[in-house]
Structure 1
Amino acid sequence: MKVIANYLIGVVFGVGISISGMANPAKVLNFFDIAGTWDPSLIFVMGGALVTTFVGYKLVFGLKAPIFEDGFSLPTSRMIDAKLVGGSAVFGIGWGIAGFCPGGALPALGTGRWEVFAFVAALLCGIFLAKFIQSTTAGRSAAAP
């Protein structure tokens, strides 16, 4: 049942990404081009996502536990550090340059366009590079006196 629920959630997400235009990098890049061909329609997509998330969190966190898990898996740190700010900056810069965010790029793989595959390949390389850097720096800080 958990697999079916995950599949259905993914389908709804992918359809939403497609309908909203978030799988079209030109639409996304036009949203960021305020001085040129600005397309403000993605504000409504983001606003709808915020409202849906707000309502969803209120409903879900009203439960004692998730339906398919023993407990909620939430971040415990509330600290704003260099990793958080740097990661957010890299995310935003990548989104502005490529026109894809990771969430929008995965459903866009279904379009078969080479640009999407190139973006996802670069995304995976970035993930592996970040993991490598984290493991290298964690090993060094653990060995420090």
Structure 2
Amino acid sequence: MRIFSALLIGMIFGVGIAISGMANPAKVLNFFDIAGTWDPSLIFVMGGALVTTAIGYRLVFGARAAPLLDKSFIVPTSKVIDARLVGGSALFGVGWGIAGFCPGGAIPALGLGYSQTFIFVAAMIGGIVIARTLQMTILKPAAA
């Protein structure tokens, strides 16, 4: 049931990304081109997502002690703003601005079959592997 619900939620998210045009990197890049072909529609997509999320969190966390298909909610507990958070956020933003894709938009865009999408997703997976390898070898997490 958990896998089915994750698949269903992922499909709904992907349809939303496709309908909003966020699977099209040109549309995203036009949002960043303030002096040229600026397209402000991304602001409305993000605003709609924030409003929906805020309402959803309020309803779900107010009504339930645990999710339907798990033992507890998994939410971030750290409120620390450190170099890893800032650096990762900056790297994400730069990559998004260069490629016009973020992971949430790239995965549904794979269905369009464009080679640039496959290249982006392959590079993203490579980056994840490199980051995890570095994290495990250089940072060596503290033993519990």
TM-score with structure 1 setting the length: 0.93
1:4: how far off? 2.0
1:51: how far off? 0.4
1:93: how far off? 0.3
Q: Partner residue of 1:14?
A: 14
Aligned-partner SS, 1:129: helix
Q: Provide structure 2 residue ranges, at least 5 long, that are not aligned to the other structure.
A: none
Which letter does structure 1 place at the counterpart of 2:69?
F
Which letter does structure 1 place at the counterpart of 2:19?
I
Which letter does structure 1 place at the counterpart of 2:51?
V
CA RMSD of aligned residues (A): 1.2
Aligned residues: 141
Which letter does structure 1 place at the counterpart of 2:84?
K
Cα deviation per residue 1:36-74 (whole Å; 9 max; x = unaligned)? 100011111011000011011111211110110000112
The structure with higher relative contact order (CA 8 Å, sep 6+) is: 2
Task: Tell me, in whole angstroms, the C-alpha distance in 2 between the residues paired with 1:60 and 1:120.
Answer: 32
2:121 is equivalent to residue 120 of structure 1: yes
Cα deviation per residue 1:72-100 (whole Å; 9 max; x = unaligned)? 11222110000000000000000000000
Q: Partner residue of 1:78?
A: 79
Task: Tell me, in whole angstroms, the C-alpha distance in 1 between the residues paired with 2:123 and 2:60.
Answer: 34
Task: Tell me, in whole angstroms, the C-alpha distance in 1 between the residues paired with 2:127 and 2:59.
Answer: 34
Task: Tell me, in whole angstroms, the C-alpha distance in 2 between the residues paired with 1:25 and 1:14.
Answer: 15
Aligned-partner SS, 1:61: helix
2:22 is equivalent to residue 28 of structure 1: no
Q: Partner residue of 2:49?
A: 49
Give aligned-pair identity as a percent. Answer: 67
Task: Tell me, in whole angstroms, the C-alpha distance in 1 between the residues paired with 2:94 and 2:24.
Answer: 17
1:106: how far off? 0.5
1:32: how far off? 0.4
Task: Tell me, in whole angstroms, the C-alpha distance in 1 between the residues paired with 2:31 and 2:22.
Answer: 10
Q: Partner residue of 2:97?
A: 96
Task: Tell me, in whole angstroms, the C-alpha distance in 2 between the residues paired with 1:110 and 1:94.
Answer: 21
Cα deviation per residue 1:23-42 (whole Å; 9 max; x = unaligned)? 00000000000011000111
Task: Tell me, in whole angstroms, the C-alpha distance in 1 between the residues paired with 2:86 and 2:73.
Answer: 25
Q: Provide structure 1 residue ranges, at least 5 long, that are not aligned to the other structure.
A: none
